[in-house]
Copies of this chain bind each other. A is one copy, B any other.
Amino acid sequence: EQFAAFRQILRTTIISIPVSIVIGSLVAFFLWLLSLAIHFRFDHKWLLFLLPLAGLIIHFIYRTVGKSSEKGNNLIIEQIALEGGEIPPLMGPVILVTTVITHLFGGSAGREGTAVQIGGSIAALFGRWFKLKGSDLKIVLIAGIAAGFGAVFGTPVTGAIFAMEVLAIGKIQYNALIPGLIAALVGDLTVSAWHITHVQYHIDAIPAAPYFLSDYLPIDFLLLAKVFISSTAFGLASLLFSEMAHKIKALGLKLFKHQWMLPILGGLIIIGLTLLLGKPDYLSLGVDAEYPGAVTIPSAFHTGGAQAWSWFWKTLYTTITLATGFKGGEVTPLFYIGATLGNTLATVLNAPVSLFAALGFIAVFAGATKTPLACTFMGVELFGGEHVLLFTVACFTAYFFSGNSGIYTAHRTAIPKK
C-alpha cells in the first residue's frame, strides 16, 4: 500500500515536470504579452474608449470557440473534485487572448485566473495523452494549478498550498503536495529562465516603541490590536468584493435579454467612472504606474501612496469589469484593494504603512478565495518570515469575517457539511 502510494507520487511527479515546463513557458509568454499590452495602453490612452467594443469581442470569442470554458476557474475546481478531465484544450489560449484584450483596453482585472486556467487545461491535455484516470488525473490537475499560480506570482510554496486549499476548505490533499510543490517550483523556474521577473515588495523595519509592559512581553499589544481591527476590515472588504461580483452578475443577467449588451454597458461604466474620477489609476492591473504618482500596489507600501477610497474604487472597477464578461482574474485587484486599504488604515490607526499594506495584500486575498493558509505562506514568500505571526493573524481573521461565499462558487460546494 505504501509502495503503491510511493509509485503514484513518483509517477504523477514525473508527468508534472514537463507539464509544468509548458505551463511555465505559457505563463511567461502571457506575462510578457500582458506587460506589452499594459504599456501600450499607457502610451495610447484613447484605447480605453474602445473598451465596450473589446468586451463585445471577448463576448463573441466565448460564444464561439470558448463556449465550454466560460466557467473558468470554477470548471477546473469542479473537474478536480469529480476526478474528471473535461477541461477543453482551448481554455488556455482563449483565456490568454481575452485577458490580454481586457488589459489592452483598460479593463480592471487580474491574471491568476488566466494562469490557473492555462495550468488546468495544459494538465488536462497531458492527462488525456497519458490516459490518466482517477486520483492520478486529480493530482496532475492540482499540480497544473500549482504550476500556473506559482509561475504567475513567483511564489512556488504558495502555489502548491493554494492548489490544495482552493479545492475545499479544511481539507488538504497531502498526497498532492509533493507533485504540486515540484510543479509550482518548475513553473516558477521556467518563468525565471525566460527572464521574466516579478515586482519585489519590502516591509520597512518597524521602530521599537517601548511601553509599560515591554520589560515583560516581547510584543507590541497596541500593534496587535491594530492588526486585528484592520484584518476585520480586510475580511469585510473581501466580503464586499465577493457580494458585489455575484450581485452585479446576477443583475446583469436579469436586466439584459441580449447578453452581448452587458460587456458594452460594463465598458461604458468603466469609461464613465474614469472620466468622473479624472485619473486612470484603477484601470488594468495596478502594478506598474501609468504616470509618476499614480496609485499602484507598490505605491501603497509608502506613506501617501494611496487615497482614502482607492480600495473602494478598485473594488467597483474590478467587480464591474469581471461581472460584465471581461477576463483575467481577481487576485491582483484583490492585492491592490488590500494594499491600498492597508495604507488607508495605517494612516487612520497610526500604524506602520508598509506592514499594513502587506497585511492587506494577503488578507483580502485570503478572505475572497478562502485560502488563509496559502495566503500566510504568500506573506512569507513575498515579504519574509519576520512577521509570520501577524500574517497568520491577518489571514485567518480576514478569512473568518469574509462571509460564507468566496469568489470561486465551485469552492463552496466542496466544503463538507458539518
Contacts and interface: CB of A to CB of B under 8 A. Distances in A.
B373 A189 contact: no
Contacts of A157: 388-389, 392
Contacts of A400: 6, 9, 178
Contact of A174 (B160, B170, B385, B392): B170
Interface string A217-259: 1110000000000000000000000000000000000000000
Interface in A385-408: 385-386, 388-389, 392-393, 396-397, 399-400, 403-404
A383 to B, nearest CB: 8
B219 A178 contact: no
Given A384-B386, A386-B384, A404 B172 contact: no
A172 to B, nearest CB: 5
A155 B34 CA distance: 41
Contacts of A397: 178
Contact of A170 (B160, B171, B189, B404): B171
Copies of this chain assembled into the complex: 2
Contacts of A388: 157, 377, 380-381, 385
A372 interface: yes
Interface string A200-227: 0000000000000000111100000000
What bracket does the count of chain A residues touching chain B fall in?
Answer: 35 or more
Interface string A260-304: 000000000000000000000000000000000000000000000
Contact of A217 (B9, B174, B192): B192
A400 to B, nearest CB: 6
A170 B380 CA distance: 22
Interface string A161-197: 0000000011111100110010001000100110100
A156 interface: yes
A2 interface: yes
Residue among A169, A393, A399 with max Cβ neighbours from chain B (10 Å): A393
A407 B159 CA distance: 30
B172 A172 contact: yes
A189 B217 contact: yes
A363 to B, nearest CB: 13
Closest 6 CB pairs of A and B: A385-B385, A380-B385, A193-B216, A384-B385, A157-B392, A177-B396
Interface of A: 1-2, 6, 9, 156-157, 160, 169-174, 177-178, 181, 185, 189, 192-193, 195, 216-219, 372-373, 377, 380-381, 384-386, 388-389, 392-393, 396-397, 399-400, 403-404
Given A174-B372, A193-B216, 12 more contacts: A1-B404, A2-B403, A156-B389, A157-B389, A169-B174, A170-B171, A178-B400, A181-B392, A380-B385, A380-B388, A381-B385, A384-B386
